Structure 1
Amino acid sequence: MTKELWLNLPVKDVLLSRAFFTQLGLPFNPRHTETDATAQCLMIGKTVVMLFPEATFRQFAQHPVSDTQTASQVLISIDAESREEVDALAQKAKAAGGTVFAEPGETMGWLYGCGFCDLDGHRWNVLYMDFNKMPKE
């Protein structure tokens, strides 16, 4: 059936968004050129995140772009290898100009994570799951 999952996100400035995610240490597909008019292809595992200029995104979606200051349409979650990686990504997001809306912390005794907004207000979760502490059913 499917080989990859592609998420398409509208952004106000493609190059600023690319710089933001590069500062987080996330890789881009080198086939995509660096211009402010073309999409950028962010790779997270086998998931592709395409960063499109808002006008291009509107054409593809045939729908207005959501106002991320007043509503969320999606929460994108990525896994981390450790608590330290969660902490580091929260700090990198702040340093790159993002906003941490949920400081790193533990919930349910086995889940450690944080939440941040990128430059365009899209919400991201970074989660470390300690399966050794996960309750058995």
Structure 2
Amino acid sequence: MTKELWINLPVKDIAASREFFGKLGFEFHPRHTNNDEMAALMIGDKKFMVMLFPEAQFRKFTGQEIADTTRGTEVLFSIDAASREEVDELIRKAEEAGGQVFGRPQAQGGGWMYGAGFTDPDGHRWNVLYMDMEQMPKE
């Protein structure tokens, strides 16, 4: 049975990615702290890992070219926020750290969701959502 899932993500520069995500407040797995070959973002209470690898190494893993993030989206990472203010803060930090905002914070889904989106330095898209489950429409 599957126990864990790791997302492997290609990046142009491990140090630049580490700096960007560090400015956003992401935690890194200590095993890979001083490693130029990979970094591991730990996300959420369960410490879900997004592994960052240099593009050349990623190509070896997949045997394929890397998606051109200027022409299309290969994946949308959605992360949970504890409040609307946390959404706003993460988007502000992403923009200050050099990310591009593709969706400004706004109410969504009839108002029970509040979200925004940004791209990291490699063009990977991240969606930040706060969901007020008490306001979620009942079916």
CA–CA distance in structure 2, aligned partners of residues 32 and 63 of structure 1 = 25
Give the TM-score taking structure 2 as reference length.
0.95
Once the two structures are TM-superposed, the CA of residue 4 in structure 1 deviates from its matched residue by 1.8
SS in 2 for 1:132: helix
2:18 match = 18
Q: Any gaps of 5 or more consecutive residues in structure 2?
A: none
2:31 match = 31
Which one-letter code corresponds to 2:55 in the other structure? E
Once the two structures are TM-superposed, the CA of residue 27 in structure 1 deviates from its matched residue by 0.1
Asked whether the equivalents of residues 94 and 100 of structure 1 are also in contact (C-alpha less than 8 Å), the reply is yes
SS in 2 for 1:121: coil
Query: Deviations for 1:83-106, whole angstroms, at most 9, x for unmatched residues?
Result: 000000000000110001000010
Identity value in percent: 62
CA–CA distance in structure 1, aligned partners of residues 64 and 76 of structure 2 = 19
> Quick check: which one's helix share is greater?
2
Q: Is residue 2:75 matched to residue 1:69?
A: no
Q: Is residue 2:121 matched to residue 1:119?
A: yes
2:107 match = 106
Query: 4+ runs of 1 displaced by more than 2 Å?
Result: 33-36
SS in 2 for 1:56: helix
Q: Any gaps of 5 or more consecutive residues in structure 1?
A: none
Once the two structures are TM-superposed, the CA of residue 35 in structure 1 deviates from its matched residue by 4.0
CA–CA distance in structure 1, aligned partners of residues 62 and 72 of structure 2 = 18
Asked whether the equivalents of residues 15 and 34 of structure 1 are also in contact (C-alpha less than 8 Å), the reply is no
Which one-letter code corresponds to 2:127 in the other structure? N
Asked whether the equivalents of residues 4 and 48 of structure 1 are also in contact (C-alpha less than 8 Å), the reply is no
2:2 match = 2
1:44 match = 43
Change (3 A) 1:79 1:100: same
Once the two structures are TM-superposed, the CA of residue 33 in structure 1 deviates from its matched residue by 3.6
CA–CA distance in structure 1, aligned partners of residues 72 and 7 of structure 2 = 18
The alignment's C-alpha RMSD in Å is 0.9
Asked whether the equivalents of residues 15 and 35 of structure 1 are also in contact (C-alpha less than 8 Å), the reply is no
Which one-letter code corresponds to 1:41 in the other structure? A
Once the two structures are TM-superposed, the CA of residue 129 in structure 1 deviates from its matched residue by 0.3
SS in 2 for 1:126: strand
